[in-house]
Amino acid sequence: MAAYLSRLHHISLHVRNVDKIAHELVSKFKFNLFVARLTEKSKQLAFRKGAAIFVVNERPNKSPVEWNGVTLSRSTGDCPSESQPGPTNTDWTCLYDVQPHYSVDTASNVCFQVDDVEKSFKSLRQLGCEFLVSPTQVCDDQGLVTYSVVKSIVGNVNHTLIDTSKYKGSFLPGFREVENGTENDTAVTKGTESCPITHFDHITYACPRRCTPQVMRWYERHFGFQRFFIHSNEDVDEGYVLNEEDIGLRLTAMEYWKCSKTGIELPFTDKKEPDCKFVIAESLPEQGHYFQRVILLIS
């Protein structure tokens, strides 16, 4: 295994209209907008519910951004500083991620907290991984974070590897707390009661048929994920098959075990830092065309 993961940090969405997605997250799932990063070239909003965080990224938009009737100010001269090889730019289009070349909305980045970004970068690169962003430091008056972005084996899915151990701010450098946002004690209490989301339970990859073994080998080799059985009747080779009327799916699951680093024989169960699970879904042959390689999120 090349990279030791500490926990799931956040999941990134890339959309054409951030306001529409924001409305869905807040009104239906009771997420709270707590920080935002707005520049002339980017709009990034972060929503939180329990330990689950979505970062919603929108393509360039010159129009003013409003939230709860308040116009959110864009960053000007007090942007965080960046340190990496090459020219420095304080108005990156998409910080802590890369802009996907897709015309449709997509969830394309699962960000993991790691202890050592540089070490993970060197180890993964030696194993042949493609990095879209080399180790980069971003800092402000609250400290600094280091991150890199590696391409996964699944379609357009990338993984940001980030170390926030030297940062004391509310989220990440470059993001500002949102005044009159949705996060307050009353709203959080009511939201928890009506929609008790605590964390991301698992992430589902919808993949072409017969690619599951290759995907699982990649995650086992690079991040220490291991197979676990969804159902007592699950076949070791075929996975858990759902074959009813309008449903034809083959499901196989894996999770990151902290024993990969500590030597313990059981996955960690700290509710504050839940383990990360991936479920790979394939359509059965009789279902016709296979799924596109998109990432589905279930929390």
DSSP state letter for 276: P
CATH superfamily for 200-264+271-298 is 2,3-Dihydroxybiphenyl 1,2-Dioxygenase, domain 1 (3.10.180.10)
Q: How confident is the model at residue 273, as a pLDDT?
A: 53
Residue with tokens 């902290």: 258
Answer whether 76's CB lies under 8 Å from 125's CB: no
Among 97, 109, 94, which Cα is nearest to 58's? 94
Q: How confident is the model at residue 81, as a pLDDT?
A: 56
Q: How confident is the model at residue 82, as a pLDDT?
A: 56
For the segment(s) 5-60+92-177, the CATH number from 3.30.499.10, 3.10.180.10, 3.50.40.10, 3.40.190.290 is: 3.10.180.10
Q: Give the three-state DSSP class for 25.
A: helix
Please list, in sequence order, all residues whose beta carbon lies within 8 angstroms of the beta carbon of residue 43, skipping any fewer than 6 positions away.
18, 36, 37, 57, 58, 61, 65
Q: Kindly give the confidence (pLDDT) of every residue in the chain, 299 residues in length, as a single tens digit, with 9 standing for 90 and above.
A: 678 898 999 999 999 989 999 999 999 999 999 999 998 888 999 999 999 999 999 966 545 555 555 555 555 434 455 555 433 334 467 899 998 887 789 899 999 999 999 999 999 999 999 999 999 999 999 999 999 999 999 999 999 999 999 999 999 999 999 976 655 545 544 545 566 788 898 999 999 988 999 999 999 999 999 999 998 889 998 899 988 877 788 999 999 866 555 443 334 444 445 568 999 999 888 655 544 444 444 43
The pTM assigned to this predicted structure is 0.81
- Compute the distance between CA of residue 193 and CA of residue 185 in angstroms, rounded to an integer: 12
- Other Cβ atoms within 10 Å of 119 Cβ, number: 14
114 beta partners: 5
Domain boundaries, the chain: 5-60+92-177, 200-264+271-298
- Compute the distance between CA of residue 91 and CA of residue 106 in angstroms, rounded to an integer: 23
Give, in order, the Cα–Cα distances in Å from 111 to each of 44, 96, 259: 15, 9, 20
Equal CATH topology for 5-60+92-177 and 200-264+271-298: yes
Give the pair of three-digit tokens for residue 122: 């060197």
The residue count for the chain: 299
- Compute the distance between CA of residue 28 and CA of residue 7 in angstroms, rounded to an integer: 26
Burial class (CB in 10 A: 0-12, 13-18, 19+), 151: middle
Q: How confident is the model at residue 280, as a pLDDT?
A: 95
